[in-house]
Structure 1
Amino acid sequence: MDQLVLEAEPRTIKGKQVNQLRRQGLVPAVVYGKATAPIPVQVPRRPLELVLSKAGESTLISLRVADRAEPLTVLVRDQQRDALTQVITHVDFYAVVMTETIRVRIPLVLEGEPPVLQKFQGVLLQQKEEVEVECLPKDLVPHIAVDVSTLQTFDDSIYVKDLVLPAGIQVLDDPEELVATVSPVAEEVVEAEAAPAEPGEVEVIKKGKKEEEQAEAEE
């Protein structure tokens, strides 16, 4: 995927006055990093929403600030939204240094079909949604694929140690942590309804009762 590009302008309005920007369709943001002092910026809402819909925490963005000669390579570190409308209200961008490793969380995406589900009824369960990794910015990927075709039986599982990682990426999470497994579906046991008595059987019961009553009367 091509690197995402976003245009921004320096921001002079701060504090509660930033609501003026929001009414104009602009979103206040800040850029910071290990080698970058905090830079207040403002970004048009619609282009920002489009980029955020494509960018995860591990997606590099080329941020072009109007008063800077070179674009900044950034990651989305935090975003705030209105609790009711879910409209974006603020964004934090982290400026990376391309020659230094960073730590980010990368989503795990299950791919394929477990062979066990072709023979038996069951449910594929994803126990872990993402992993924390360390790598150079150039080695970042949008997600890590998890091949579930290795789940041949209900006893098979996929752990962090089983992940096939792209070059240059090191996972920091516990290697024994469970990622995915298949759980069997319990079959419902339907109790058979008691069959109604046959007419002959009912008659025998009634007849037997009459005979008992007659015997008691004769005594």
Structure 2
Amino acid sequence: MDVLKIKASKREILGKKTRFLRRQGLTPVHLFGHGLDSLALQCDTPNLQRTIARAGMTRLITLAIEGDKQPRSVFIREIQREPRSGELLHVDFYQVKKTDKIRFDVPIILVGEAPAMKEKGRVLTHSLTSLSLECLPDKLPPNIEVDLSPLEEMDQAIFVRDLSLSPDITVITDPDQMVVRVSEARIEVEEVVEEEVAEEELVGEEAEGEEGEAEAPAEEKPGEKPAD
């Protein structure tokens, strides 16, 4: 896997004035990490967009800051966008040491086809969407691919303990947790039928009540004489 690199320069424009940076094609960035003072930086927006698309939140990036002798190893920690337009507003980088292990939640991706799904009336339940891992920064996989081809029968499942990972990686997630399962599709017919019956009974009761009111004689008001 090729190394992702991006350049940044130190930023003096802060707060609401950063909108002027965006007009110049620059995105405000913050760099922080354990035992590190936060640094205000800026990156070329098109280059940053391409890096985000390739790195996601789980791929190690080499960050070269203008004026620094040594590049830094970072992960993208947070991305802020304008809700309507999707414009990139701000990015946070988290610096790590290549010699220190880190813990990350890595997304699970289902690949291939489950033979059991060829039959009608079956559904594939994806119960676990990420896996908590511990490893050195350069050993962290961008995602975990789970092959569905072993699922050949109904109610067959794949658990965390079934996943094959590098010996350099420690899985923190419970090994007995289910990742994906083939099960029968359930159609809730009984509940609908019961609701229809209840509605019919209610309509019948209302109709009987109206008939009873129509047949009942009118009550005499106090002091009134019955009509001759």
Q: TM-score, normalised by structure 2?
A: 0.77
**Number of equivalent positions:** 189
**Greater mean alpha carbon deviation, residues 42-51 or residues 110-119:** 110-119
Structure 1's unaligned 5+ residue stretches are: 190-219
SS of residue in 2 equivalent to 1:150: coil
Deviation at 1:70, TM superposition (A): 1.4
Letter in 2 for 1:116: A
Q: Provide, for residues 129-165 of structure 1, a one-character-per-residue CA deviation record: whole Å limited to 9, x for no partner.
A: 1112111112111111212222121121112222211
SS of residue in 1 equivalent to 2:2: coil
What pairs with 1:3-22 in structure 2 (closer than 5 Å)? 3-22=3-22
RMSD: 2.0
Contact map agreement 1:57 1:104 (CA 8 A) in 2? no
Q: Provide the rounded CA distance (Å) in 1 between the counterparts of 2:81 and 2:120.
A: 44
Deviation at 1:66, TM superposition (A): 0.9
Matched, 1:89 2:89: yes
Q: Provide the rounded CA distance (Å) in 2 between the counterparts of 1:44 and 1:160.
A: 40
What pairs with 1:128-139 in structure 2 (closer than 5 Å)? 128-139=128-139
Q: Percentage identity across aligned positions?
A: 37
Contact map agreement 1:35 1:97 (CA 8 A) in 2? no
Deviation at 1:175, TM superposition (A): 2.1
Q: Provide the rounded CA distance (Å) in 2 between the counterparts of 1:178 and 1:88.
A: 36
The aligned counterpart of 2:209 is none
The aligned counterpart of 2:199 is none
What pairs with 1:89-128 in structure 2 (closer than 5 Å)? 89-119=89-119, 121-128=121-128
Q: Provide, for residues 34-89 of structure 1, a one-character-per-residue CA deviation record: whole Å limited to 9, x for no partner.
A: 24321111011111111111112210011111111111110001111111111111
What pairs with 1:208-219 in structure 2 (closer than 5 Å)? none
The aligned counterpart of 1:197 is none
Letter in 2 for 1:158: I
Q: Provide the rounded CA distance (Å) in 2 between the counterparts of 1:88 and 1:22.
A: 9
SS of residue in 1 equivalent to 2:149: helix
Deviation at 1:179, TM superposition (A): 0.8
**Greater mean alpha carbon deviation, residues 105-114 or residues 72-81:** 105-114
Letter in 1 for 2:181: T
